[in-house]
Amino acid sequence: MAEYWNFEPNYEQKAKRFFANIPKPEMILNYDIAVKDFVHSGNASAQIKLFLKRLGVDAKVLRRVAVTSYEAEINITAHSFGGTIVGNIFPEMIHIIFQDRGPGLKNIEEAMTPGFSTASDLVREMGFGAGLGLPNIKKNSDVMHIVSAENESTMLEILIYY
């Protein structure tokens, strides 16, 4: 499996301690993401955003959570065999894990390049495939971590501090 990490410098030390010993979240949100279900895709990210809004999280942070989780949710729908989203709610931040069932990324660095896309005709007809989802996730998260390989599953996790 190949691995990719991006840490925003302000949170690097804090986040590394978090990943070294992930504490128990206050609340866990769970969603199943079906294959090619563009009708419902986006619902999980909308619910995560709504949940944080009720907790009183700042609008700017809500926007970053919405962008990252929407892009990752659509990627599971568009490019994978389906998967799950787990939102771990902490008092200071949200940790979201996007796990799918394959087919995985051939080359993570290539997938991270703005404009790179293997989107099918169907996915492009749905209005996706600009190759900007992963770069947007990087831009809007404090930590981004991918573990994947060709013909394996993809695990993407992000941290966003409130």
Ligand X SMILES: Nc1ncnc2c1ncn2[C@@H]1O[C@H](COP(=O)(O)OP(=O)(O)OP(=O)(O)O)[C@@H](O)[C@H]1O
- Contacting positions for ligand X (CB under 6 A): 71, 75-76, 78-80, 100, 103-105, 111, 116-119, 128-134, 154
Q: Which residue's CB is nearer to ligand X, number 33 or number 89? A: 33
Q: Which residue's CB is nearer to ligand X, number 112 or number 160? A: 112
The region of 5-13, 73-81, 137-145, 150-158 touching Mg ion under the rule CB under 5 A is: 73-81
What's the length of the chain? 162
Residue 111 binds: one of ligand X, Mg ion, none (C-beta under 5 to 8 A by kind): ligand X
Residue 153 DSSP SS3: coil
Selected from 75, 80, 88, 154, the binder of Mg ion by CB under 5 A is 75
Q: How far apart are CA 147 and CA 145, in angstroms?
A: 7
Per-residue tokens: 57: 């999280």
| In the complex, minimum distance from the CB of residue 115 to ligand X, in angstroms, rounded to a whole number | 9
Q: Which residue's CB is nearer to ligand X, number 16 or number 124? A: 124
Q: Which residue's CB is nearer to ligand X, number 153 or number 161? A: 153
| Residue 99: C-alpha distances to residues 6, 7, 23, 80 (Å) | 18, 20, 19, 10
133 touching Mg ion, by CB under 5 A: yes
Q: How far apart are CA 5 and CA 11, in angstroms?
A: 13
CA 57, 17, 145 angle in degrees (round to 5)?
70
Nearest residue to ligand X by CB is: 133
Q: How far apart are CA 99 and CA 1, in angstroms?
A: 14
Contacting positions for Mg ion (CB under 5 A): 75, 133
